[in-house]
Amino acid sequence: MSFKRFDQTKPFITLGIIVLAWLLLPVAVKSFLRVTFFELQAPVQVTASYVRNLQDFWADRTHSKDELIEAARELRHVYAGYEFQAQQTEAQQAEIARLEQLLRLPSNPNFRFEQARVCRRDLSGWWQQLTIRKGSNYDLPVGAPVVYSGGVVGRVREVRAYEADVDLVSSPRLRLAANFENDTHPVSYQGGINPPLAPARGLVEFVPPDIVIYSSAPRRLVTSGLGEFPPGLTIGYVARLETSTDGLFQSGEVSLDPRLTELTEVTVLVPQQPD
C-alpha cells in the first residue's frame, strides 16, 4: 500500500528534481542551453518559411497568362520610375561626394543594405516582433535599424546564427528620437501596448507646446537622425496632441502603418565605418 503511494508521487518528485537541478545549474550552462534551443529551432522556422514561399509560388502559378502580362506591364511602369529615381540619387550622391571632398568634410557614415525575408511574426499583446531569415551569417549587428518602403520597421534585438529577432516599431521596448516633418525639435517616440489584431499605435512624448497639429491634417513623425536611424524615415502619423498637466510638453498617439503586420521582406541597415 505504502509502496503504491510513493509510486504515485514519482512524477512530482521527478519534476521537483528537474526544477531544483535547473535552479542549481550555473548561469553559463543555462545561457548555453537557451541559445542552443533557439539555434536548433531556427532551421525549423527557416524551413517553414521556405515552404510558405513555395506555397506562394504555386499560388502565383494559378494566375492566367493575361493576368501575369498585365502585372508585368504595371511593374515595368514602376520599374521605370524607380530607375529614373535611382539615376537622380546616383547623381546627387556624386555631388555630395564632390562637395565633401571640396569642403574636406568627413563622409557621413553609410549603411550596407541587407534585404531579409520575414520568417515569423509575433504580434501578441506582449510581444511585437519579427524574426528574419538572416543572422550573424550576414554580419547583422544588434541594434541595427530595420526599414521598409513605408519607413521604420524596428531595430534588431537579438542575432542568432541564421536568423535575427527584430523589435517592431509598435513594441513598447523600442524608443526612438524623432521629430515632426519640417520641424527640428527632438521628441521621443515609444511603441505602445498593442493588443493583437488591433491597429498598431505608439506614443509621442516631450513635444514642445508650440507645435500645433490639427486632426484634419495629421503630421508625419520621422526619425531625427540623432541615433542609429538615418533621418527622415517615417515612423507614423500624429493627429492629436494633448498638453500635460504641468504645461511643459504635449503627448499624443502615433498611428502606425498597418502594412507592418503583413511584411514579408525588410531591409536591415548595417552601419559601416566612415570613409
Partner 1 sequence: MSIIETYRPQHTRLLLFQALIAAMLLVLAGGLAYRQIIQYGNYGERERLQNQRRVLVPGPRGNIYDRDNRLLVGNRSRFAVTLFLDELRREFRREYIEVVRHYRESETSGDITRSDRPSPAQFEQIARAQVVQRYLDQINRLLSRDEKVDMRELNRHFQQQLLLPYILLDDLKPEEFARLIEQLPVQSPLQVYTSSTRYYPNGSTAAHVLGYVRTTDEVSGDDMSGEDLKTFAFKGTAGRDGLELQYDPLLQGETGSAIYRVDPAGFRVNPPLEKHAPHQGERLDITLDLDLQVAAEKAIDQFETLKGAAVALDVRTGEVLVLASKPDYDLNEFSPRLSTAAAQKIHETGAWTDLAIAGVYPPGSTFKLITAIAGLRSGLITPDGFTADCEGTMRIGNRTFYCDKSPGGYQRHGIIAFREAIAQSCDIYFYTVGIKIGPEAMAAEARRFHLDQPTGIDLPYEVRRMLIPDPAWKKRVRDEAWFAGDTANMAIGQGDVGVTPMDMACFVASLARGETTTRPTLLHDPHRARQHTEPIGLTPAQFAAIVDGMEGCTINGTAKIFATPTYGIPGLRIAGKTGTAQTTRDGNKINIAWFVCFAPVENPQIAIAVAIEGDTPGESFAGGHYAAPVAQAVLKAWFEKSQHPAASPGSAAAN
Q: Choose which of 45, 110, 136, 190 interacts with partner 1 (CB under 8 A).
A: 190
Grid coordinates representing 181? 516633418
**Cell 542552443 sits on residue:** 36
Judged by CB under 8 A, the chain residues 106 through 135 that form the site for partner 1 are none
Q: Shortest Cβ distance from residue 77 to partner 1 (Å)? A: 38
192 contacts partner 1 (rule: CB under 8 A) = no
141 contacts partner 1 (rule: CB under 8 A) = no
Q: Choose which of 39, 138, 150, 186 interacts with partner 1 (CB under 8 A).
A: 186
Please provide residue 122's backbone torsions phi and psi, each rounded to the nearest 5 degrees. -125, 95
**Cα–Cα distance list, 49 to 46, 63, 128, 165, 216 (Å):** 5, 22, 19, 15, 41
Q: Counting runs of H as helices and runs of E as strands, what totals does the chain give?
A: 4, 13
Q: Choose which of 45, 110, 136, 188 interacts with partner 1 (CB under 8 A).
A: 188
What are the start-end ranges of the H helices in the chain?
2-8, 10-24, 27-61, 65-102
148 contacts partner 1 (rule: CB under 8 A) = no
The residue count for the chain:
275
Q: Which is nearer to partner 1, 245 or 273 (CB)?
A: 245
146 contacts partner 1 (rule: CB under 8 A) = no
Residues forming the site for partner 1 (CB under 8 A): 172-177, 185-186, 188, 190, 206, 208-209, 224, 226-229, 244-249
